[in-house]
Amino acid sequence: MPKKTNNQIEINETRLLIDYGFNLARNLKIKTVLVIGELVTDRKMVDKHRENESIIWVSRDAEKAQQDIKKGDHLVFIPHSPVERMDQISLALILSVMHGYVKEDDSIVCLLGVSGSKRLDNLLIANPQRDFEWFKGDSLEKSRLPISQEFIRLIDIALRFANEGREGKSIGTVFLLGDIEELNSIARPLILNPCHGHPRKSRSIYDSEFVETMREFSALDGGFLIDRKGVVEAAGVYLDAPVTGTVKVQRGLGSRHLAAAAATALSNSVAIVISESSGTVTVFSKGLKVLSLG
């Protein structure tokens, strides 16, 4: 009998994992399966084993992910930046709840593989309300945050900056995404605004050259104010929001995190903080930590 190739072994492992995952979901009466997999073969195997389950497809490639998505399924996009597999799951689950694809107290079967691998090799059961402090208690209003592609883009930029640094040094900064008039009321400039006077299109977070300029601006004290269309309105700003009772920041996080949390408690904004000391990327909204990556 000829020996199986590595590719055949990997395909068989993926097939068995998917089969077991769907059987597990049915036994537990779980109706939603989340899949982090880029390969077309993975999709075909999932479609072959599914029955009435809804699939949340998690992808880094928006164009590829749109292909052959069935009615009732959903798409969630996560950054290309390198993060651990549990960080991938955390981000995908939180985005799924915020988009309304699942409820906070829903259990979900998750199938995933190592980033860049050619197989699905991991299975777990997650429940946002059980597994994330942010979703515990009365979180209906919190789960309806205005999550957008600009938010995903900033997560991507933050993870890249945290991973790559600047001129061999670590980066620590804050991205505050929201309505500029509201954000200006809780921020003050530490220096002359380096973004002032430049065309909006040249200050976009989607402009790769300007992103490198943002990397340089991250060396300034303070953080960035970014409007909902992804245009950076100011850099080097100090977040001057009072710390109210709704602000909850865990011990060990510094003044940058506290200021970001306080700013989101007083505005309809999302703050993304890069820790200079650890490289961790933390997301705050409504005064609470939503997500920690890295």
| List of domains in the chain | 6-143 (3.40.1380.20), 146-293 (3.40.1700.10)
| Residues 263-281 pLDDT 10s | 988 888 999 999 998 888 9
| Residues 33-59 pLDDT 10s | 999 876 656 778 888 899 999 999 988
How many CA atoms within 13 Å lie on the side-chain side of 147? 24
pLDDT at 139 over 80: no
Contact 93, 290 (CB under 8 A): no
Q: Write the DSSP string, 148-198.
A: -HHHHHHHHHHHHHHHH-BTTB---EEEEES-HHHHHTTEEESS--TTTTS
Contact 35, 57 (CB under 8 A): yes
Taking residues 104-132, report their average pLDDT. Answer: 83
pLDDT value, residue 55: 93
| Residues 49-91 pLDDT 10s | 999 999 999 887 655 555 667 888 998 888 766 567 787 888 8
Going 61 to 289 to 171 to 195, the CA torsion angle's sign is: positive
Angle at 18 between CA 13 and CA 23, to 5 degrees: 125
